[in-house]
Amino acid sequence: MTAHSSSTKPAVLSGEPSRTDARVDAAHEFLRDVLAPRMQTMNANAVTVDRRYFYYFQRKKTGRRCSCFEVETSPEKQCPICYGVGIVGGFEKFGTKTEVLDYTAPNLVLVNVEPNLNDDTRPVYLRLTDGATKGYAEAEFPIRANTGVPDTFMLYQPIYNRGTRVFATNPLGYTRELRIDEDLQPFLAHPTVKIRIELSAVDVRPIMTHFLFRYRTEHDPRIWGDIPNSETNPQLIEMGQYDFVEDISIFFDGKRIRNFNYFDLLYRIEDGRRFLINSVKPTKVAGVLIASDCRARYVIPEIEPGYLKIPV
């Protein structure tokens, strides 16, 4: 055991010195530095016995304001850019980093491409200007520390266009068209990447809302938790409404995720179901997170379709 000393004097130690003073302080430090980490590890081991794998999407609280929210009092629930959160990207997948090229991107360069600001759409689209046959939208993004593995990328077009292509360029000038996830891999070794969306009027006037790319900051972005039997309303089950009211309890260890939040999204890998966290009860010992008990409700496709658009 490592020896510790403390410059903080707890209230319990106030008054005349006593032979037990040092022992009281040492007991607290022993609990915090030795016993609590052991309890944390025991809980982590317990979870792995009958674990269920999830992808964890943490709801964004800061970032660029989505264009669906610029002139309205609330974000668009079905927005494909923010998924109703109001911040570009909407959710950050645990173990990854996401960047989005859209109308709000910093240093956005538009050549023969314009936003459809005069149309009543949420979010704002980007499209070829009248009379143009070719154009592009371009922006540069930072690349954070990563594992060198792309997670996914996606070009979202309300109307499919054969003439839309995506290119990436590194700081050395190397350019490559992005067709599959692996095409993004060479660019993750550089501090920045420039993304260019080229639009050509092959079919009709091309329209796009955004381009999203995501890369891994951890080798395995999965998290795991222990799930008891699902708790549902038996009366609604008899009416055939089981899927609409499913509510699950999930026990997570305190090592993998430090801070679960309300309305974060969990994607259960075994069956592809999505759940929104609606309560979190952390267990701490001497300030050390031992475990988190979460309750999450099933995302109802007929009522909350926006959450189903989040790319996994």
Give the global pTM.
Answer: 0.84
Task: Please answer whether residues 138 and 196 qualify as being in contact, where contact means their C-beta atoms are separated by less than 8 angstroms.
Answer: yes
CA dist 119 and 78 (Å) reads 17
Amino acid (one-letter) located at 268: R
Q: CA-based angle 170:172:173, to the nearest 5?
A: 70
Give domain limits for the chain: 20-64+75-80+87-94+221-312, 96-216
Spell out the long-range contacts of 9-18 with Cβ–Cβ below 8 A and sequence spacing 24 or more.
none
Name the phi and psi angles at 164, rounded to 5. Answer: -100, 130
- Give the integer Cα–Cα distance in Å for 36 and 59: 29
275 DSSP β-pair partners: 266, 298
Tokens 């990447």 sit on residue: 193
Please, what is the Cα angle at 147 between 141 and 148, to 5 degrees?
A: 65
Write down the residue that tokens 């989040």 correspond to: 310
DSSP assignment of 22-40 equals HHHHHHHHHIIIIIHHHHH
170 φ, ψ to 5°? -90, 170
d(C-alpha 31, C-alpha 193), whole Å: 47
Residue 100 has which token pair? 């989005």
Q: What CATH number does domain 96-216 carry, 3.30.70, 3.30.1490, 2.60.120, 2.160.20? A: 2.60.120
Residue pLDDT tens, the chain, 312 long:
445 555 565 655 566 666 665 565 677 787 788 877 888 788 778 777 778 999 999 999 999 999 998 878 889 988 999 999 999 999 999 999 999 999 999 999 999 999 999 888 899 999 999 889 999 999 999 999 999 999 999 999 887 778 899 999 999 999 999 999 999 999 999 999 999 999 998 877 788 999 999 999 999 999 999 887 554 445 544 555 544 457 889 999 888 898 999 999 999 999 999 999 999 999 888 888 888 999 999 998 888 888 999 999
**Rounded Cα gap, residues 244 and 203, in angstroms:** 41
**Cα separation of 127 and 140, whole Å?**
19
DSSP state of 66: P
- Rounded to the nearest 10 degrees, how much is the dihedral formed by the CA atoms of 120, 310, 170, 165? -60
